[in-house]
Structure 1
Amino acid sequence: MSLFSSSIGLRKDSIRITDAEFVELRDFIYEKSGIFVDEKRKYLFESRFRKRLGELGLSSFSDYIKFLKFDSARREEMVRLFEMVTTNETSFFRDQKQLDAFRDHVLKDVIDQQRAAKKMELNIWSAGCSSGEEPYTLSIILHEMLGLEISRWRIRISANDLSKAMIDKAREGLYPEYAFKTTPDAMRKKYFKQDGDLWRINRDVTRMVDFKLMNLNESATLKRIPRSHIVFCRNVIIYFDESMKKRVVNSFYDNLVPGGYLMLGHSESLHKVSKTFKPIFHPGAIAYKKE
């Protein structure tokens, strides 16, 4: 049973968030996830949460904060909370120029190094994988690049996200038309099969991807990721303040093997965040190398 009674007859569009409530909820979200919500997003924040308060029968944001802290259902609600504060807009082969640079320079360099060392092993970490389009895209790129040779490699793509709903969707491997808005037709025909109005990704692609729920603010869980040759973390650190960015990037640095690479989103950089990586400039992308 909930700790809070229903608000009978309350119009959900009449619920407003006060400055004090915004600060308290923002700080709670930051403490639990490392995501910092700027004050400029206060009213967007209010409209996004208002519907949820109505569903729970709560009459104020103060009641919702108490719900998150003390209600018996607070663990389940944290899952919903994380989904409401993140944006999961993605697609297969998103930012093609960056992916081309990754394939032709970063991935080629790592594969050449592994071949020279006679270590046919490759670990990639997709941090903030959303509904799976990014790690599956990386798997497809590897299949295209290695061809039949891929059977001789031990490849693992560790894919993690804060949202359970996104992880569940990624594991299902079933996607609507809009997920392919940036996908070459040849890639869709080769690696997907139509399933009604949706498209199901081939088993060969999914086999090398391991999905797990993960909070980048929990340093102990990050240490469970195998040492990586490449870390992809695109369009994630934009949600963090400077302190959290530094903590996460330091975790990536510790996870990477010497000579490994960190790939960020095209609008993100390590300027003022970290000087431990060497930026390598390619047409359409910057790769950050651990030396």
Structure 2
Amino acid sequence: MMNLFSKSITLRKDLKIGDEEFVQLRDFIYGQSGIFIGDNRKYLLENRLANRLKENNLKSFGEYYYFLRYDPGRKAELNKLFEVITTNETSFFRNPPQIKVFQDVVLKKILQEKRTKSQRNLHIWSAGCSTGEEPYTLSIVLHEVLKNELEQWRIRITANDLSAGVLAAAKRAVYSQYSLRTTPPEITKRYFAEESPGRFILQDRVKRLVEFGQINLSDRFQLKRVPRSDVVFCRNVIIYFDDEMKKNVISSFYDNLLPGGYLLIGHSESLHNISRAFRPIHHPGAIVYLKEG
């Protein structure tokens, strides 16, 4: 759900990033997160980090780089860095055709197969969950599909993101009308309480299925600790990675998925030239990727 550099921040005109400073910070960010910032985005990196320099009373981007590398407070600042270089543009029921395919095709098939095997466990991984709209949408879909049968299932939705700040917001589960702009009105009425005009609180029954945690998709050891999944959602995230990072992440998703599991990525993203391990299945308005086995 990441949307890199989509917020505008007022740039302090006295701060300019030199070529060497840009390379240092770009390589550092890539090493820490896998996010690659091209040379054509130099001014955006400069714009985005100016306020972090001001906050830490630093005079140059070179000082900020050394702060990130060596200062005792670097861990907390790293979280702030992740927050400013990734902006989270998302909503409930984003890309409705894809959610419909998940509900009517993918989920239906998985549930039928599990019932046939007398299994009642389901694990979904939302990798890059932002402020929670995606995993909570999946929880709502499960409530809609399973209804009273839900209590008979052991269901867990693991929701991860790079930014500690967005995870904190996700756990609060308080949303504006803008977050619900793509949500059917009857769903809003059924699963949210309007605390005040334009302020909506998600019901606890939806929240109970979701477990949040910070994760760095560039760290394969962290990814290996995620429970094996029936479905992986990673939408609008890998678009910000270079080809090597994309291949590593998709390979980790493949390893995580159970045989017969599905990967869903953003509608503007593709596994073309990244992985041939999955079988793409085309549906109206969406492509899902099947791990055969």
**Which residue pairs with 2:30 in the alignment?**
30
Partner of 1:212: 213
Q: Report what 1:118 is aligned to.
A: 118
Task: Report the equivalent of 1:160.
Answer: 160
CA deviation string 1:181-223 (max 9, x = no partner): 1111111100000123411101110001000011111111111
Q: Aligned-residue CA RMSD in angstroms? A: 1.0
Shift of 1:116: 1.1
- What's the CA shift string for 1:50-80, capped at 9, x where partnerless? 1211121111100100100011110100001
Q: Indicate the percent of aligned positions where both proteins have the same amino acid.
A: 53
Structure 1 residue runs of 5 or longer lacking an equivalent are: 1-10
Alignment-mate amino acid for residue 153 of structure 2: W
Cα deviations by residue, 1:220-243 (Å, 9 ceiling, x for unpaired): 111121110000000000110000
Q: Conserved in 2, the CA contact under 8 Å of 1:12 and 1:53?
A: no
Output the TM-score relative to the length of structure 1. 0.95
Q: State which drifts further: 131-140 or 188-197.
A: 188-197
1:101 positional shift: 1.2
Off by >4 Å, runs of 4+ in structure 1: none
Report if the CA contact (8 A) 1:13-1:50 is conserved: no
1:77 maps to which residue? Answer: 77
How far, CA to CA, are the matches of 1:185 and 1:13 in structure 2?
Answer: 45
Q: Does 1:55 align with 2:66?
A: no
Q: 2 CA distance for matches of 1:187 and 1:160?
A: 24
8 Å Cα contact 1:124/1:156 also seen in 2: yes
Unpaired runs of 5+ residues, structure 2, are: 1-10
Superposed displacement of residue 112, structure 1:
1.1
Q: How does 1:88-167 map to 2 (within 5 A)?
A: 88-167=88-167
CA distance, structure 2, for counterparts of residue 76 and residue 246 of structure 1: 29
Helix, strand or coil: the match of 1:14? coil
The number of aligned residues is 281
TM-score, L = length of structure 2: 0.94
Does 2:234 align with 1:233?
yes
> How much has 1:87 moved relative to structure 2?
2.1
- What is the rounded CA distance, in whole Å, between the counterparts of 2:68 and 2:93 in structure 1? 37
Shift of 1:20: 1.5
In 2, distance between residues paired with 1:133 and 1:115?
28
Alignment check: 8 A CA contact 1:156 1:210 kept: yes
Decide which moves more: 239-248 or 218-227.
218-227
What is the match of residue 287 of structure 1?
A: 288
